[in-house]
């Protein structure tokens, strides 16, 4: 976080301006400290001649920091200025951080709010860098500060990749499992047995329309005659809706002959309704075609052959105390996902519970 060089008081409020006088101004023997409710910025102007040397300037800065450590210094945000957003909408940045910054009532609180705001803007993943500068407000508004947000938009607004990776599979870790009309079971991800080597590729466009939107296309092809194509969009916020919104369309074809005796094709839509750090709520709607090439399926599966409309509401609760999400070395994480299917009258009804505990690398 950058601090304005002309704000040696570290965003402390300005005192009321001195009354004009016809007589030449003289430096007092003892500098006028002004009111106790803020750091006097005009003092720096009045004593400019005394602060020409670096030692004097450093001593004044130290005095300001001692003041900030000793007691809260009241302040009010006068304005929030955004610079560098040539493509990103200013309304998006304001919606993310403006209320947070304006809620600060002290210099110390404003510094903390600025650090939090910096992290929120970086989390949008559309900026290469974000810096927040805190400066003194206009002289006619004492006790105020101006917050300047300087962003550098991503030089490369896209990402892409293609790779092979080993994938462990389990008969109970697939998508909508066509076993019984009502399904209730627990999946433990540590009990996976079959390993396949699919190839996966993806392409993502960032901030296409300036709303922090992410558009991505991904495809996966497995040598066991399974394939998947996804097209999705992510919006960090939409107008007054404070939570991110997601929508995804997918086409899935998979062969479950190694577990049972059927194949399925899915054409589905998924909508993210609520997404926070701990909670995630989504709705799935899919059109499924189930076939039995081997003619050896059980009676429960044969009742579901053909076309089915699948609708499900999924809720996930996550706890993550790891030191890193991608390469953790310590801590723990736990994800519980509950899925209720059959929301439509003629849909397949089921209940599904999945428990997952990612491990840390020692």
Give the list of residues 6+ apart from residue 326 with CB closer than 8 angstroms, or none.
Answer: none
Q: Is residue 361 part of a domain?
A: no
CATH number of the CATH domain containing 5: 3.10.20.310
Partners of 158 in beta bridges = 205
State which residues form the domain around 183: 158-356
Partners of 318 in beta bridges = 335
Partners of 160 in beta bridges = 203
Q: Is residue 188 part of a domain?
A: yes
Collapsing DSSP states into helix, strand and coil, what is residue 187? strand
Among 5-9, 47-51, 340-344, the least confident range = 5-9
Last residue of a domain, one of 101, 128, 153: 153
207 and 338 share a domain? yes
* Ramachandran region, residue 258 (left: φ > 0; alpha: ψ -120 to 50; beta: rest): alpha
Last residue of a domain, one of 108, 124, 153: 153
**The pLDDT of residue 93:** 93
Q: Taking a C-beta distance cutoff of 8 angstroms, is the pair 287, 266 a contact?
A: yes
CATH number of the CATH domain containing 316: 2.40.160.50
In the chain, where does DSSP find H-type helix? 42-46, 54-70, 90-102, 107-123, 299-302
Percent of the chain with pLDDT over 70: 70
Last residue of a domain, one of 93, 128, 153: 153
pTM (predicted TM-score):
0.65
Q: What is the pLDDT of residues 228-268, one digit of tens each?
A: 899 999 998 877 777 888 999 999 887 766 666 778 888 99
Domain count, the chain: 2
110 and 20 share a domain? yes
The rounded distance, in Å, linking the Cα atoms of 137 and 79 is: 8
The rounded distance, in Å, linking the Cα atoms of 250 and 201 is: 14
Q: Taking a C-beta distance cutoff of 8 angstroms, is the pair 315, 286 a contact?
A: no
Select the more confidently predicted residue: 192 or 72. 72
142 and 164 share a domain? no
């Amino acid at each position: 976080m950058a601090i304005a060089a002309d704000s040696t008081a570290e965003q402390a409020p300005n005192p009321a301006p001195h009354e004009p006088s016809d007589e030449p101004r003289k430096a007092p023997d003892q500098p006028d400290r002004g009111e106790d409710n803020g750091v006097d910025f005009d003092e720096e102007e009045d004593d400019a001649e005394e602060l020409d040397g670096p030692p004097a300037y450093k001593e004044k800065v130290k005095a300001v920091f001692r003041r900030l450590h000793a007691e809260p210094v009241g302040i009010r945000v006068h304005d929030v200025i955004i610079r560098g957003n040539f493509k990103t909408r200013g309304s998006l940045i304001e919606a993310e951080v403006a209320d947070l910054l304006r809620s600060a009532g002290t210099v110390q609180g404003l510094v903390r709010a600025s650090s939090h705001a910096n992290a929120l803007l970086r989390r949008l993943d559309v900026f290469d860098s974000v810096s927040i500068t805190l400066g003194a407000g206009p002289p006619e508004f004492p006790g105020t500060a101006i917050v300047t947000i300087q962003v550098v938009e991503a030089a490369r607004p896209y990402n892409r990749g293609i790779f092979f990776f080993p994938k462990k599979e389990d008969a109970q870790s697939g998508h909508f499992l066509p076993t019984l009309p009502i399904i209730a079971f627990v999946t433990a991800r540590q009990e996976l047995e079959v390993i396949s080597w699919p190839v996966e590729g993806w392409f993502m466009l960032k901030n296409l329309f300036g709303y922090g939107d992410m558009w991505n296309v991904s495809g996966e092809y497995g040598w066991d005659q399974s394939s998947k194509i996804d097209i999705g969009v992510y919006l960090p916020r939409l107008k007054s809706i404070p939570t991110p919104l997601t929508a995804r369309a997918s086409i899935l074809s998979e062969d479950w002959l190694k577990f049972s005796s059927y194949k399925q094709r899915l054409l589905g839509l998924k909508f993210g309704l609520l997404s926070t750090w701990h909670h995630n709520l989504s709705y799935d709607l899919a059109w499924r075609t189930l076939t039995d090439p081997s003619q050896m399926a059980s009676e429960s599966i044969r009742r579901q052959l053909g076309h089915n409309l699948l609708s499900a509401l999924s809720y996930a609760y996550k706890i993550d105390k790891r030191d890193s999400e991608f390469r953790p070395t310590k801590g723990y994480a736990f994800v519980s996902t509950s899925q209720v299917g059959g929301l439509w009258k003629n849909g397949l009804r089921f209940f599904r519970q999945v428990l997952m505990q990612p491990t840390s690398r020692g």
